[in-house]
Amino acid sequence: MIKKYKKSKSFNKNQRSFYFQDYIATNLKQKKIQKSPISEDRIYILFFFFFCLIAIFALKITLVSVKNPNLFEIKKNELNFLPLRRDIVDRNGELISRNIKSYHAAVKPNLILDKKKFMINIKLNFPEISQDELQKKLKKNKYFYLKKRITDDEKNKLWSLGDKGIKFEPTQRRVYPHAGLYSHILGQIDDDNYGISGVEKYFDDELKNLDKIKEPLKLTLDTNIQFLVKKELEKSLDNFDAIGAAGLLMDVHKGEILSLVSLPDYNINLRNDISSLEYTNKITKGVFELGSIFKTFTIALALEEKLFNADTIIENIPSSINCSKYKISEHDELPKDLSVKDILVRSSNIGSTIIAKKIGEEKYKKFIKDINLLNTLDFELDEVGTPLSFKWDKCKLETISFGHGITTTPLQAASAYATITNGGYLVTPTLYLNKISENIKEKVLSNSTSDQINMILREVVTNKNGTASLADVYGFDVGGKTGTAKKSFYGKYSNRKLNTFISVFPMSEPKYVLLVLLDEPKPAPEMVYNYRGYKVTNIKRNEAGWNSVHVAGKIIEKIGPILAINNNEFYKNYVVKKTN
């Protein structure tokens, strides 16, 4: 019998199937079953990822354990290594600067077992290290540097202490085999191996160019000549009790500097902080009144303008003249009538002023500017001085004509002499060997004027009335001009002198200019001079002719044979004559 079911109150008339609710439940269940494999895949991926990480770390730990434990520390240092620098050599390939491997000595305080014992050992081996500072650093318990750029001996001392807290960091150190010989030229580098002065600074980018690391930077300098010049200048400090001295040797055609010495100097390997003014580079940075060397420029311009010739007689030259509120006088009693040539040979102040007034201010101003006496010179050192500015007021032309009231650097003065004696071609001094120069050289004087000046400069040395007889070194045909100037302090002239001699040789065919400067020399009555073939002594005079000229003569005597090795003129004039 079939039972009849009662309609449920919740029965929906629109329901098409009584299986509706069962279907939904069944469908949800099936969806859960379908999602299950996807979740399992994610688990597998995560498991594989973590397994790879564990494998990588395990491999890394294994490598570190079997290899040198300091390997990665060394590699880190290499990655952060200081910039390499190229070698610097002289014109003959002689090494004058190089980077070598060095070490910083550092300390890890947490690895030091007995800090008191450590401090005692440091005090015994390195007494210059402050114990108070060392103690403070040890208490901070942080990594610090005990000493930077240690020497091999210092490294061995620290190594022998056997303390694990001492670490040696590899680095580079710049060494200068000739110590102080090139101190005023090469300059120094800082703790990060970057140039901070001298050639090291000027050529910093060039020296750090790794593409040229095997190619040394070649300078125009000659180490043998530099050594000889320095030795003679050092003797001059003793002989004339001077507070300083300087010397410069330059090729009159190329402007190449073979020697540049300024005393006192210093050992650049010690990396000291040099702040005293006595260590100023007197050749490039020193700005001085150089006295009568300016008379050469006055005479050269007068000859170039054809106002006079060398034998023109200037008559009735007074012994003194008044110029505004100043009085200009001669250094010695001189004849009233002097030729233009004799005004330079005998170094007449009044004669120079008369000639300068004939030239005129505008032409004179332009000329000394053209030969770079008043500009800041473009040179391969940052340590270059700028001549003091001045006004062309009353008497300025007259005083400048004999080198009073005008300043310049010795480097500029020597370059001007090179220009005047080489045929009149403007010379730019350089320390960079094989520097590419302009094909067209600027000409500021005629050949005729240059030849006449060379003849007169030779007579300054050979003439019995000349001021530079002590430079007449046999066989080298030396010419030049002296300059004796009083030093100025706070706008007032003192009795302290700055004596200069600029020589050129051989005058028959000028090749080199040599400048010698003595700062505050004293008379040397005990000195035995070779004066025109006679031995003289008890000379109490203190002009350049009795000190700077003497030193220049000694230098030329030493370096002349080196410079003239391939010079037929030298063999003809010196070797052959001497052997006969």
* DSSP assignment of 31-99: HHHHHHHHHHHHHHHHHHHHHHHHHHHHHHHHHHHHS-TTHHHHHHHHHTPPPP---EE-TT--EEEEE
Output the pLDDT for position 568: 47
In Å, how far are 203, 316, 334, 472 from 540, measured between CA atoms?
46, 31, 20, 21
Q: Any idea what the Cα angle at residue 220 is, between residues 214 and 225, rounded to 5°?
A: 115
Is 372 within 8 Å of 387 (Cβ atoms)?
no
Output the pLDDT for position 529: 94
Residue 374, both tokens: 């008043």
Output the pLDDT for position 47: 74
**Tens-digit pLDDT string for the chain (580 aa):** 444 444 444 444 444 443 434 444 455 455 554 555 556 667 777 777 777 888 887 777 776 555 544 444 444 444 345 568 999 999 999 999 999 888 999 999 999 989 999 999 999 999 999 999 999 999 999 999 999 888 888 999 999 998 999 999 988 889 999 999 999 999 988 878 899 999 999 999 999 999 999 999 999 999 999 999 999 999 999 999 999 999 999 999 999 999 999 999 999 988 777 778 899 999 999 999 999 999 999 999 999 999 999 999 999 999 999 988 888 999 889 999 999 999 999 999 999 999 999 999 999 999 999 999 999 999 999 999 999 999 998 899 999 999 999 999 999 999 999 999 999 999 999 999 987 665 558 999 999 999 999 999 999 999 999 999 999 999 999 999 999 999 988 878 899 999 999 999 999 999 999 999 999 999 999 999 988 888 999 999 999 999 999 999 999 999 999 997 444 454 455 444 444 4
Distance between CA 328 and CA 319 in Å, rounded?
9
Is 523 within 8 Å of 205 (Cβ atoms)?
no
Distance between CA 563 and CA 249 in Å, rounded?
11
Is 99 within 8 Å of 85 (Cβ atoms)?
yes
The model's pTM: 0.81
Contacts of 11 (CB under 8 A, 6+ apart): none
Output the pLDDT for position 40: 67
Omega of the bond prior to 264 within 30 degrees of 0, cis?
A: yes
The DSSP bridge partners found for residue 261 are: 247
Domains detected in the chain: 79-219 (3.90.1310.10), 226-270+287-579 (3.40.710.10)
Distance between CA 516 and CA 518 in Å, rounded?
7
